[in-house]
Amino acid sequence: MKFTVLKSFKIFTINLFVTSLILIIIDLFFSKYFGYFPALNIPETFVEFEETFDTKEIEQSKKSIKSKYSRGKNGYRPFTSIDKTSELIFTIGGSTTDQKYVDNEKTWQRIMEKSANISVINGGVEGQSSYGHLLAIKNWHAKVLPLEKVNKIIFYLGVNDTRFSKSLDTAKGNIYDSPNTFGRLKSYISRRSFLYSKLRKARFKFDVLRGTKLVSPDGITIAGHGTRNPIFLKDSIKSNIPLSNKDEIREYKELFSNLLRVSKRTFTNAEIFIVQQQDPKCRIERNSVFVNVTEKDIKNYCSSLASIFFAQEEVINNLNKLSKLNISIIKMYKDNPISKEGFYDGIHTNIKGSSMIAEYLLKKIIY
């Protein structure tokens, strides 16, 4: 009996070893471990990736709307060839810059391209903040872009930086900013591994069977199921949450200043524009913050957003005065060019909202 158990264990161990070896060889052969893909050094990026979504719910349409999301070898969404245009603009931001559920041809970057003789590169990454932008410039963008040809940089900022309104410690362990060792390993493998991508697809199919993910009859993912704008108040409510004090916001100001200095050193010929994005849930004035919805913790969030915007303005004014960097600030949160119908979840834009952003930025930066 003992011999039989040992023999069975030995056979199991050998089979496990051989199977694991075969899987490792397959993964190494089909994965992106050995290619030159700087974008994969950054969490939540994709290269040579394509997926199609049905965005009818986001666009509030009864008919199916197929929206293609893709990223090329260098990690950017499609853009007009630099050789065919008079100007190159590079955009950096989070998911509101990326616009995952807006078709390749209808993002605000592509609309800007079609409205003027320019190339506009989409460097948005879901969840990325100023901390992530700094890492991305050093470890991704600086390695694949023609730096001397970039004429303008648009930072589309706000929402993701609110987690720094009290200190940088609030982002420790965040996969988008400073992931822990396990997070870095997971990010490295998930961005490159062939087998991991297959497991992710298998999990998605399982989620479809469970009903947590929906697909159209032709198998396309239905994006934004159950996603709606919050109910906006007729009259705004004043927030009683104080803004961040000097000690709380100090680390963020240092981070933001470093981001701008590194950007200027990297893209030596580029004008820098900081777009303080519009969030329809908040109304920010110089001495007061108001909320436009009744969501939980919204007062804290809007006060954090205001603290970030005011800190950015202070940093830019100081850099322009002392270092003559000539950085422009665009207070979109004051102009509010996007109608509430242009949002689908209270912050991300649909096709209508993306078109409004493009029109606004063209007037502010190009025309």
Asked whether residue 170 carries a pLDDT value surpassing 90, the answer given is no
Task: Spell out the SS3 assignment of the chain.
Answer: CHHHHHHHHHHHHHHHHHHHHHHHHHHHHHCCCCCCCHHHHCCCCCCCEEEEEECCCCCCCCCCCEEEEEECCCCCCCCCCHHHCCEEEEEEECHHHHCCCCCHHHCHHHHHHHHCCEEEEEEECCCCCHHHHHHHHHHHHHHHCCHHHCCEEEEEECHHHHHHCCCHHHHECCCCCECCHHHHHHHHHHHHCHHHHHHHHHHHHHHHHHCCCCECCCCCEECCCCCCCCCCCCCCEECCCCCCCHHHHHHHHHHHHHHHHHHHHHCCCCEEEEEECCCCCEEECCCCEEECCCCCCHHHHHHHHHHHHHHHHHHHHHHHHHCCCCCEEECHHHHCCCCHHHECCCCCECHHHHHHHHHHHHHHHHC
Asked whether residue 2 carries a pLDDT value surpassing 60, the answer given is no
6 and 118 share a domain?
Answer: no
Mean pLDDT over 103-131 rounds to 95
Bigger pLDDT: 105 or 81?
Answer: 105
138 and 17 share a domain?
Answer: no
84 and 8 share a domain?
Answer: no
**146-160, 165-179, 223-237: least confidently modelled range:** 165-179
Mean pLDDT over 162-175 rounds to 81
**Residues of the chain above pLDDT 70, percent:** 94
Domain housing 257 = 38-366
Total domains in the fold of the chain: 2
Per residue in 244-295, pLDDT (tens digit) is 999 999 999 999 999 999 999 999 999 999 999 999 999 999 889 999 998 8
Residues near 366 by beta carbon (within 8 Å), at least 6 away in sequence: 112, 116, 118
Average pLDDT, the chain: 89
Strands 49-54 and 87-93: unpaired
* Residue 334: per-residue pLDDT: 96
CA 269 to CA 147: how far, in whole Å? 8
Per residue in 28-39, pLDDT (tens digit) is 888 888 888 999
Question: Cα 48 to the chain's mean position, in Å?
Answer: 17
3 and 93 share a domain?
Answer: no
CB 304 within 8 A of CB 164: no
Whole-model pTM: value is 0.90
Asked whether residue 172 carries a pLDDT value surpassing 80, the answer given is no
**Separation in Å, CA 22 to CA 18, 108, 145, 284:** 6, 45, 37, 58
235 and 260 share a domain?
Answer: yes
Which residues face 87 on adjacent strands?
118
Per residue in 187-209, pLDDT (tens digit) is 788 878 888 888 877 886 777 67
Per residue in 22-68, pLDDT (tens digit) is 888 888 888 888 888 999 989 889 999 999 999 998 998 889 999 99
Q: What is the CATH number of the domain that holds 111?
A: 3.40.50.1110
**Residues of the chain above pLDDT 90, percent:** 64
Asked whether residue 296 carries a pLDDT value surpassing 80, the answer given is yes
127 and 18 share a domain?
Answer: no
Residues near 214 by beta carbon (within 8 Å), at least 6 away in sequence: 208, 221, 222, 225
309 and 260 share a domain?
Answer: yes
Mean pLDDT over 172-178 rounds to 69
* Residue 322: per-residue pLDDT: 87
Asked whether residue 216 carries a pLDDT value surpassing 80, the answer given is no
176 and 299 share a domain?
Answer: yes
92 and 1 share a domain?
Answer: no
- Buried b vs exposed e over 321-342: b needs ≥16 C-beta within 10 Å? eeeebebebbbbbeeeebeeeb
253 and 289 share a domain?
Answer: yes
CB 177 within 8 A of CB 129: yes
CA 348 to CA 97: how far, in whole Å? 9
286 and 353 share a domain?
Answer: yes
Mean pLDDT over 171-183 rounds to 71
69 and 8 share a domain?
Answer: no
* Residue 289: per-residue pLDDT: 96
Per residue in 88-105, pLDDT (tens digit) is 999 999 999 999 999 999
CA 36 to CA 120: how far, in whole Å? 23
Strands 328-330 and 221-222: unpaired
Asked whether residue 215 carries a pLDDT value surpassing 80, the answer given is no
